[in-house]
Structure 1
């Protein structure tokens, strides 16, 4: 992937993760929890404790070296009953993606210490580009200006090191952290999106399979399903978008804006000669972004009706609403995802079509009315990739008690993919799929009441549907 190909994704990420200067660069002594250096910078971090430990760069010992792993603890507000480890999504997102939602998690797991690591390549853990992605560098955790060239040059110059930032090595990291800080009390692990893949990789490798429970949010499809990988994201998004529009058709108050159907209205908009002048470039991408949050998804009929009438104000309002989501993450210096890690892992393990071309992407997008920029970002070039190890495509032989929380209108990890994956996991243990009606991706953020209710019931050993 070339540097130029990152322009759109960098701008998109900026809508959700905005870094600010901070004293948060962690100077905690290795291997023990002490008050975090940034604990006083935001109320959500008050009382947090941080630690760092060293881990092998490559657990298979093909490449020498070490990485440093950062973990933040939100101590229980009373005597601790155990631990809930939280594994961020991405790939490329740090643990900071959970910080704004800590109160919801506390309510779901009262009495538990919440431990949130930055997995390798993210946040305050060792980065792929140590200087250019430093949270205190010119662009913070984001790459800016000449940092792009310097970073990509280093990734290629140290290709063996780059190829050690794999899912399996990250899974070993998680096992190392959980073992190192085990208190002997009850222990659960929660992961969202890519975090579910990382947790399942850890279990597939035979580690931590004696936990008290596993909570998976927005479960990734089976790695062996080549029709639901990242290269097919536009098809997934389009399917969910059309389902939302069909819901509109079934409601008289919504359908009255569209004499034919809402789908037909969008197709007519996309074919207008003045659509870019009216709505800007890549309207399909802008509409698909609105599916990520219930509030913006609800604006879709207004956006479409407004554009039909030549008025883009609802589209602008929805875009502003998406941008405002970034304010949740402004206090956290490690909040910006790592684009190099996104590229490395996505291209190496989550792209079933490595020969995908720009022409193929363009042809496929023609049939969609909602589309994602992600397939274009998988196009080859830029940094080294690696061959997945033998654990790729396999499932755990044994799993602890597990619940899977999944939105039925998830435009990123499709609900049908979760159903298929759960059917396979059921052979390894007690697994319960909890569908969250009409929720999009990331149930903790999008449907906090359902999350709290389901997780608390699970920890109390009585799974109930929301």
Structure 2
């Protein structure tokens, strides 16, 4: 349903937010949009928008989103134009529309009636039956409290709601059609816009692409959405291929070459049997897996942090000296910092949102989107069953990814009423540019291949490298992104780009 196009009042953003790192002015605006687009004249919710004006001959606006769900599009807009490709900052106003419930109050929050938060796990995700039971009980308590103690915005945070916000802002800035770049979960935003408004597409790039079918309705909805996306398989493939590349290039370029995969498997077994200790603390498999995953998101971290840690584990087992133990502890701390930065972004995100909460309030921005968009099982034990399957089908990482959506089993939010779950096959006014990485640990390239098939005439641009997404990792990718956005020129089908530098230089 159409709504009156609002007027945006732009002001220079306050304080340190007034300029980008490259000296460009940043402008801010807030617009009140319908809380429920089924009731466009009813209650509203504020949506925050930032704009970095074009520095040269302006083509139009480029809307951007860094994923999450929960990453700040406004923060991303401050540097996205620089990363995407040459000429973008000059020719486009780069605009970040923060997802409702994320970037400004009212936030997507649930409140507990007591002073204490529900009991959680001491580890990142369950492995044993007992741990699964504790996770399910904690999920039940949070779901029950969300049923009565949630902010109203929680019921209106589907990707389709956010896409409608973007479309209203597009009209407000005077663009006839949408130009857009989205990475990771931002790829779902781009695909949803293209499917809902196919005649309003000027140029849409989706990077680090989620399979739109598995994210939403699912080919088998009896399986949790975060299992069926295949991210556990992607992370396994990314790690194994990186370790084999280490063996291929030799010890001059990779310190564990010759035995790389064996050293990882030995380290994993040590953690599984309780014999992996760092600085006096016992690390379990969940610690090792979640921390290794963080490194897989950024290709340089594979060598600088992950390989160095695995090397130190082998050295510490071999020599058992104080010096070896200190090196192991230092490198583990570096690896944890990499993990923590990535976890702040959300599993399908690029840039961190960063907001602290009290023990009586929980941020449910991620769940408000995921549980609204996706059809999930209603039996909470389906997550444990899928995890057992993942141990074979998606080794090491499958359990971690599977449990990311466990709150959806009894999710009380009503956002699914307005979610878009297909059809996805459509012809858009301009074909999409789909960008996929061959060794992506979060969004395996199969998602990009699926997306390319859904949107007629779209082209898959492949980056043959490691890490999550292709943003600012390859001169070839940046050149084609800029050509597409500025001149609407797509690369030839089958184009494969190389990264700036090899995994092990």
If the TM-score is normalised by the length of the shorter chain, which range does it land in?
0.7 to 0.9
- After TM superposition, give the deviation of residue 411 of structure 1 in Å: 0.8
Kept in 2, the 8 Å contact 1:156–1:383? The answer is no
Counterpart selection for 2:192 from 189, 194, 201: 201
Q: 1:120 to 1:151 in 2, by over 3 A?
A: farther
1:31 & 1:77 partners in 2: Cα distance? 20
Correspondence 1:93 to 2:71: yes
Alignment of 1:97-116 (within 5 A): 97-105=76-84, 107-109=86-88, 110-116=90-96
Q: 1:87 to 1:120 in 2, by over 3 A?
A: same
Secondary structure in structure 2 of the residue aligned to 1:212: strand
Alignment of 1:256-267 (within 5 A): 257=256, 261-267=259-265
1:245 & 1:83 partners in 2: Cα distance? 42
Q: 1:355 to 1:228 in 2, by over 3 A?
A: closer
Match of 1:37 in 2: 14
Secondary structure in structure 2 of the residue aligned to 1:441: coil
Correspondence 1:363 to 2:388: yes
Match of 1:285 in 2: 290
Q: What do residues 353-394 of structure 1 show as CA deviations (whole Å, max 9, x unaligned)?
A: 453536436535644234563422322378523435573042
1:408 & 1:350 partners in 2: Cα distance? 25
Structure 1: state its 5+ residue gaps: 1-28, 133-148
Counterpart selection for 1:398 from 399, 410, 427: 427
Counterpart selection for 1:347 from 371, 384, 388: 371
Q: Could you tell me the TM-score, scaled by structure 2's length? A: 0.70
Alignment of 1:310-459 (within 5 A): 310=316, 311=324, 312=328, 313-321=330-338, 335-336=354-355, 339-350=363-374, 352-357=376-381, 359-360=384-385, 363-364=388-389, 366-367=391-392, 368-370=395-397, 373-380=400-407, 384-386=412-414, 387=416, 389=418, 391-395=420-424, 397-399=426-428, 400-426=430-456, 430-445=457-472, 447=473, 449-458=475-484, 459=486
1:53 & 1:131 partners in 2: Cα distance? 27
Q: 1:289 to 1:390 in 2, by over 3 A?
A: closer
Kept in 1, the 8 Å contact 2:7–2:172? The answer is no
Alignment of 1:203-218 (within 5 A): 203-205=194-196, 207=197, 209-218=199-208
Query: Quick check: 357-366 or 455-464, which moved more?
Result: 357-366
- After TM superposition, give the deviation of residue 438 of structure 1 in Å: 0.3
Q: CA RMSD in A?
A: 3.8
- After TM superposition, give the deviation of residue 34 of structure 1 in Å: 1.9
Q: What do residues 296-316 of structure 1 show as CA deviations (whole Å, max 9, x unaligned)?
A: 122433322221222524433
Q: Could you tell me the TM-score, scaled by structure 1's length? A: 0.76
Counterpart selection for 1:171 from 163, 169, 178: 163
Structure 2: state its 5+ residue gaps: 1-5, 113-140, 317-323, 346-350, 357-361, 498-505
Correspondence 1:60 to 2:38: yes
